[in-house]
Amino acid sequence: MPGEPSIPSPRTPQPSGPCVLLKHGEVFLKGRNRHLFIERLHDNLRGALRGIGGSTWIKPGQNVTVIGGEVPQDVLVERARRVIGFNSVEPALRVPSTVQDIEKAALDGLAALRGERPGISFAVRVKRRDKSFEMTSSQFERFLGARIREGLGDLPVNLSHPDVRLSVEIDRKESYVSWTRHQGPGGLPVGSSGRALVLLSGGYDSPVAAYRAMRRGLRCDFVHFTGAPFTNAASVYKAYALARELNRYQPGGRLHVIALGHAQKQLAIAGAGRLQVVAQRRLMIRAASALAGRTRAEALVTGDSLGQVASQTLANMAAVDEAATLPVLRPLVGWEKQEIIDEARSIGTAEISVLPDEDCCKLLAPPRVSLRAGLTNLRSVEKRLDLDDVVDGLLRDVQIMYPGEDDGEGEAGADSPDGGPAPGRPVPAVCASAPSGAVSP
């Protein structure tokens, strides 16, 4: 199909060997259109496996997807853990659906684990998808548990809080035995809810907001406002690195960089005073709304958290929203700062966000920011400028980057503005090497 990533053709999976079980998340709850969500989920999975270094196969199942191939199992796990829409990622052994084969795989696996961790307790959990199997799920749990204790010298059983949960899923022709479970991102497949444009700063908040939007099925592009020419390029390097990290969770989103410095100075000259920060936030929202028309985005996403700073009071957020022509989504509106930082660490953006830069929001900021910026006063300041002309100038000089396309780490290609697939593009010189050199991959 047009726009699909170029990957090796799937081969027929072998009857036995290592694989990875991927348990579906919220798509399980969908009704008649569930197949559309699963198709999107598998498209994103194919994109994540692109460039992995060997042939792979994908086998759909009932509320589960199985992947394998000529690639180390841990590499498959690492790629799959970033695909939004899977609740869990389980390295497993694929064996024929016979009692003997399942028993041997379970004994071998637990024996290896006991050698590494003496004294571990275990529990057996069986899911029998094939009802013609010779034992029920509970019967086979008891049978397999007894055989493990016989074969491994009374390995302790703990049904409530086992050190190892041995999971067996039985299908008609093959079964899957696993004893390790990694938490997946969950959520809805990226792209199933449409497109959004994220106002991406260099801090903790906006990257986490972008990730949360992705988990609700939004495919995200990014816009970063700099204080250029009055600030240096450090914030652009950070925005590029953050977008590259976020693109590991979705088909590659574009980064748009807009130099806001001259427009900020115009607002200050127009007498914004204590309204400066809110006025420039309104200008960012106006520019982002116009840019969204070019990227086919249906909403804007910000990292605002209610009451976190002066510009994020309820009155000021309402004043900013009034300047938008699209819905403004705030996934973090009720989050505390520590919750945001913890999430940033878990998704890999915290180490980038902590790096120093020159934030455009601090440029020309007054000593005290108005907590209730009235629309009448804001409009009075804005009338002293030709806002349409200012926004046109901002978008005329926008710089577009494609984070992740140059490093071959498995992201699907970004779409071009007309909806077709975008060919590989070099990263602009300003960010060609700085992000990868500034932070650890």
Residue 192 has pLDDT above 70, yes or no: yes
Sign of the dihedral through C-alpha 10, 16, 19, 20: positive
The predicted pLDDT at position 14 comes to 56
- Tens of pLDDT, residue by residue over 268-302, are 999 999 999 999 999 999 999 999 999 999 999 99
- Tens of pLDDT, residue by residue over 112-148, are 999 898 889 999 999 999 999 999 999 999 999 999 9
Which of 62, 67, 14, 64 is CA-nearest to residue 174?
A: 14
The predicted pLDDT at position 294 comes to 94
Judging by DSSP bridges, how do beta strands 174-178 and 86-96 pair with one another? Answer: antiparallel
Inter-CA distances, 267 with 201, 240, 329, 377, Å: 20, 27, 26, 13
- Give the Cα separation of 94 and 100 in Å (integer): 13
Predicted confidence band at 437 (pLDDT cuts at 50, 70, 90)? very low
The predicted pLDDT at position 406 comes to 56
The predicted model scores a pTM of: 0.86
Mean pLDDT over 427-441 rounds to 33
- Give the Cα separation of 59 and 69 in Å (integer): 11
Task: Classify each residue of 240-278 as buried b or exposed e, where b means 16 or more C-beta atoms within 10 Å of its C-beta.
Answer: bbbbbbbbbbbbbbbbbbbbbbebbebbbebebebbbbb
- Give the Cα separation of 188 and 27 in Å (integer): 7
Mean pLDDT over 242-266 rounds to 96
- Give the Cα separation of 185 and 226 in Å (integer): 31
The better pLDDT of the pair 441, 168 is held by: 168
- One-letter amino acid of 114: R
Residue 415 has pLDDT above 50, yes or no: no
Instruction: Count how many Cα atoms sit within 13 Å of the Cα of residue 366 in the half-sphere of its side chain.
Output: 19
- Give the Cα separation of 303 and 142 in Å (integer): 50
